[in-house]
Amino acid sequence: MNEERLRLDLNDLADEVDRVDLRDRALRTSRRLGIQRTIATSAAALVLIAAATGAALAIRPERALDPMPADSPTISISPSPTPDPTPSPSTSSLVAPPPDGSSGTTVTFGRLVYGPASSGGDYPATGHLLSWQPGDAPDRLLDLPFVAALTNATVSPDGRRAAWVEDNGALWVANVDGSGRRKLSDGVDNNCGSPAWLPNSRQLTVRLNPAAGASAGAGLLDVSSGAYTKLPVFDGCHAVWAAASGTLAFAGGSSTAGVVITDRTGAGRRTIPGLGGKSSEYVCFDIASLAPDGRRIALFRIKRDSETYGDAGRDLIANAVLDTRTGKAVTLPLGGRQMRQVFFQSDGSMVVRLRSNDRYTLLLVDENGKKVGEQPEPTSLRNMQIVNALD
């Protein structure tokens, strides 16, 4: 896939068609190795410049990434009817509903957390997170290792703390301003089982590697006490929790290539129809966000016959919103623009990140799929990705 294709004008596409840009869906593991090698290369170069003499260092170049073929699912199914709970009050900046065919519901943009996105160039050793709410200027949060910021960093639902796993398997937490930094655990998977906050903002879902001994496997880690409780129902990748219902979703992994919906007890465990399975049209390895009631999910789905599926690394791109009971795609008012990311807010509304050429816009959609408003994104966030949507 070349740059010319990536910049194709999407305005001629109908609202129900979302042509997926898979430039940054190249193999995540290979990209992570490339990032690490690039950082190592930069550090080694500095040492060579500073030293008058020294042993020659053998530095491997970054491996080129193989792009995935494009996948263009048709989004044409109306969302299934759901209850209409009253949105909770919010101090977020209000967005006036547009005059034509839009929702009259009072829905607002919350605060968004951004992290670095893969750019394919040289990467620094350190990355950072940003916070932004429409109407305000972006606010820089804590610094952390770049690979962690790109591939697994996450902020608690209450917006107070960040968690990330470094390449050596050390799980860290800190306040979002960088204070109170401390290590919670060693031996944590920073790939398939990267940390996921529970709605209470007090526990993390993690996966401990076999090196962790008797505690190996998936479980819940209490951030304050460090207490660990095994969670046998989580047997896949990329856990995502619903804000209100206690529902858990995760990608089933390479064996199923589907998405599992359950709770922490395993009650009502099921898979989303049409994803995974021998006869399914689509497979999925990456989940971005789950609706508060667990009935809709934003994820990245690809055709089963695609040449490259990706890998176990986290990817926050979303090209579809599905009804978790039927597997049907939910129609969104995209206006001919390309959907890049989707995050559910605690009132059931969605923040949809759209791209048109090099411009990014945030679309606010209520829980019924109606457009509430939109907000141009600052150009300073163009090379970043949304990591969390907070109230």
pLDDT digits (tens, 9 = 90+) for 4-35: 333 433 333 333 333 333 334 434 444 444 54
Closest listed residue to residue 150, CA positions, set 181, 119, 172: 119
pLDDT for the residue numbered 341? 98
Residue 280, pLDDT > 70, answer yes
Check residue 276 and report its DSSP letter.
S
pLDDT, one tens digit per residue, over 100-135 is: 444 455 899 999 999 999 877 678 999 999 999 999
Tokens of 247: 């529902």
Residue 96, pLDDT > 80, answer no
Residue 89: CB partners within 8 Å, gap ≥ 6? none
The span from the CA of 38 to the CA of 50, in Å, is 19
- Alpha-carbon distances of 36 from 86, 96, 98, 168, rounded to whole Å: 47, 45, 46, 12
In this prediction, residues 229-249 reach a mean pLDDT of: 93
Tokens of 303: 């055709």
The answer to whether 350 touches 339, Cβ cutoff 8 Å, is no
H or E segment to which residue 116 belongs: strand 111-116
The span from the CA of 270 to the CA of 327, in Å, is 12
In this prediction, residues 203-232 reach a mean pLDDT of: 88
Tell me the domain boundaries of the chain: 3-49+57-390
The span from the CA of 130 to the CA of 136, in Å, is 12
The span from the CA of 99 to the CA of 94, in Å, is 15
Helix (H/G/I), strand (E/B), else coil: 150:
helix
Q: Domain 3-49+57-390 is in which class?
A: mainly beta
pLDDT for the residue numbered 335? 95
Closest listed residue to residue 300, CA positions, set 65, 71, 27, 147: 71
Q: Give 211's pLDDT tier (boundaries 50, 70, 90).
A: low
The span from the CA of 350 to the CA of 348, in Å, is 7
- Residue position matching structure tokens 């690394």: 313
pTM: 0.76
The span from the CA of 119 to the CA of 111, in Å, is 24
Q: Is pLDDT larger for residue 292 or for residue 43?
A: 292
Q: Give 310's pLDDT tier (boundaries 50, 70, 90).
A: low
Residue 179: CB partners within 8 Å, gap ≥ 6? none
Closest listed residue to residue 35, CA positions, set 145, 172, 143, 113: 145
Closest listed residue to residue 155, CA positions, set 128, 118, 121: 128
pLDDT for the residue numbered 255? 66
Mean of pLDDT over the chain:
78
